[in-house]
Structure 1
């Protein structure tokens, strides 16, 4: 085995697996270039973390990237769960891999590709996510390029995103999934074992026949169910002794439908139709070839979670994670519905308030219509992920404007029986909370 330090290009360095592996391999002494379509400000820790529009790079541009950094190993962690605006499973999982394989072949360098895929049998693939992932596997396997396909089980990591965040949220709540889903097989893997495997592979010579073209399932061997995973998280959160209520299956399906709708608005909720379909399929595999080749002893679920007992920030995140959707949905409804009522349902009553407080008649209709349209626009801005921050700030400013304007022009509204203006204060606080919860990673 060569002692030369490898240069590693990791694609998808902003994701759950990609971020951890990038940081872990750097700590081990590898020179690793982390590439992502978008990095959060907190992830821009190194000059070697690069933002690039990966999906738009052609094979020639990818070849230049490989040669520019003298890459020895490429780790492909790029993936999306479901088709949505800006996310195309076929483009991400298949078409990109085609170009990546062409780039590796054209680079003139001896490069090993480590490709992150999914476990399970191909004949059980039902979603676009699974079928395109499997097609990418076939392309890699038939490419003739030295490669290792890694199929991690349910990933347990210190951070949480997507499905792993959803299970933490369930563990911190009195809710259970329906009994059928709770009994689904769900073999986990510690993210540290994934990083250790990639480090082990990166240290191998490119012509090592033992890892020339292999596929491994990465997970603990002992069978575990979804209920077992959630139970272990509940032990960490201190909620194992709580009474728990199983949600009906139709509610889970309704949540998936709502998640699909939210994804059309640019959000990435963990509960979507693909996530539920993959959850019901389960996570199973056979790690014996991985263990035999690398000598890595899989970390057990209890060890993986027990090494990181829940802290107060973990508990707050888990408790608020599922509530986040209700916070944003309620704010969208609040602004859109209130504006609609003032404009359509109770227009005369809304205009009458201004008239009764001495507003010039020429201004009553324009102000009533303008503020109603403004309220509805704020709700629409909050509904879309890309503009939600702008909408929340606009909502806070508008609410403060209403309060100050009422105090100057119509101070008696502050003491009306229903306390409409008094209730504006808590609405501002809720918008501030939503603004603080806006980040997704």
Structure 2
């Protein structure tokens, strides 16, 4: 009996937590996979079939041409954003794009199975733009008549971490505890391997198979688990379970969500935003029996994917530094803005007096002090915005080295001043270097 080969698979959102793992896993299974993302990080683009395309800006006709040109038989849609903000529109990503994608499949005149990654939960509890637009997309797909599978994974546990999964690792590694009410929220996990196995199983099914022509499955372990259970399991892996902990007050969580919303306006995609907190308090639960019965897949238990063996040093460093990274960026922004402001506005006469007392002409000292102060504040502004943070950090390092070298040549006595201001510049340079090296999110 001949075996029907698996059709070529197109993964949309191949740079994300689920999309990247699924793309790599399917290729390891021997599947022909085209991965598409708006942008890949340096270590993600591992194949000529990893394509950087402005998917969200592509019309249905362009998507249809991509499907035809690449001879696509299965599309896996992993695209998603947590919250509206600069460059992020939940309606555009979750709903409007699905409208164009369904139209593109029709225009391509090809038989294509659509596998759509959605969210679990009862739709009567949908409150955020994230959940309501995800559910609108589900309804559009179900009404299209196109062969489809809507997958609703639980809390995804993967080898890599991003967003909420990174936040849980940080809570497990640091001496903090969530309030008891938040710890008790349901959070049924799923191993990302089970998602990839499900997609591979679906991709191999014939399109005319009535049992898989239109399905919606919750994908998660069936045993009830809480958010506190997941965090505790990571603590076992990190070896931090016996630590004394400080319980974070609910007010602090709400303040953190507000701060996350504000910094998202600067391009930083903090996992601690109002939508994340709302979805956390809603919980993650579902009934995976339909999925298990149809596929025969036995979902991995949390104990099989977390804590089965001790965490590596890379895991521990990442978890410990994840929240500290935000503190580093914030402190460097304040350092440059405040120091420049003080020198330019509050203590400008004293700043110029330091230079003139050492023989600098006032006509040169005044503009020099003004320009360097404005340069300091400019660096603070550059670091504050995600898209220019790397430029600002490099500029801050170079300017600091320039200050140290310039003072050594022009005003060497400043190196001996009692508070050691120039000596303290060295650790500031190291801090900026660490921030620069940890700037990547994926």
TM bucket, shorter chain:
over 0.9
Conserved in 1, the CA contact under 8 Å of 2:237 and 2:308? no
Match of 2:263? 262
Q: For residue 155 of structure 1, give the secondary structure of its aligned residue in structure 2.
A: strand
Q: CA deviation at 1:108?
A: 1.0
Match of 2:81? 80
CA distance in 2 between partners of 1:366 and 1:273 (Å) = 45
Q: For structure 1, which runs of at least 5 residues remain unmatched after alignment?
A: none
Instruction: Deviation per CA, 1:358-414: give whole Å up to 9, x if none.
Output: 111101110111011000000000000000000000000100111011111111111
Q: Which contiguous aligned blocks of 4+ residues in structure 1 show a shift greater than 3 angstroms?
A: 306-309
Q: Secondary structure at the match of 1:41?
A: coil
Mapped to 1, the partners of 2:247 and 2:202 lie a distance apart of 43
Alignment partner, residue 56 of structure 1: 57
Deviation at 1:309, TM superposition (A): 3.3
| TM-score between the two structures when normalised by the length of structure 1 | 0.99
CA contact (8 A) 1:158 1:308 kept: no
Q: Name the residue aligned to 1:282.
A: 283
Q: Which residue matches 1:138?
A: 139
Query: Aligned-pair RMSD on alpha carbons?
Result: 0.9
CA distance in 1, matches of 2:216, 2:305: 24
Written as runs of structure 1 = structure 2, the 5 A alignment for 1:298-317 is 298-307=299-308, 309-317=310-318
Quote the offset at 1:2 in angstroms: 5.1
Correspondence 1:194 to 2:195: yes
Cα separation, 1, equivalents of 2:121 and 2:115: 18
1:214 aligns with 2:215: yes
Query: How far apart are the structure 2 equivalents of 1:340 and 1:172?
Result: 37
Match of 1:234 in 2: 235
Q: Is the contact made by 1:262 and 1:269 (CA closer than 8 Å) also made in structure 2? A: yes
* Counterparts of residues 46-125 of structure 1 (less than 5 Å): 46-125=47-126
Structure 1 residue 308, shift from structure 2 partner: 5.6
User: How far does residue 224 in structure 1 lie from its aligned partner after superposition?
Assistant: 0.5
* Equivalent residue runs for 1:224-373 within 5 Å: 224-307=225-308, 309-373=310-374
**Residues 144-186 of structure 1, C-alpha deviations (whole Å, 9 max, x = no match):** 0000000000000011000000000110011012221111110
Deviations 1:68-90 (A, max 9, x none): 11111000000001111111110
Which runs of 5 or more residues in structure 2 are unaligned?
none
- Write out per-residue CA displacement over residues 24-64 of structure 1, whole angstroms, 9 at most, x where no aligned residue: 00011110000001101111110000000000000000000
Post-superposition offset of 1:5: 2.5
Match of 1:33 in 2: 34
State the Cα distance separating 1:249 from its structure 2 match. Answer: 0.7
Instruction: Name the structure 1 match of 2:391.
Output: 390
Partners of 1:315 and 1:415 in 2: how far apart? 40
Is the CA contact 1:7–1:31 (under 8 Å) kept in the aligned structure 2? yes
Q: Secondary structure at the match of 2:43?
A: helix
Deviation at 1:338, TM superposition (A): 0.3
Measured at CA, do residues 308 and 126 of structure 1 come closer, stay the same or move farther in structure 2, by a change above 3 Å? farther
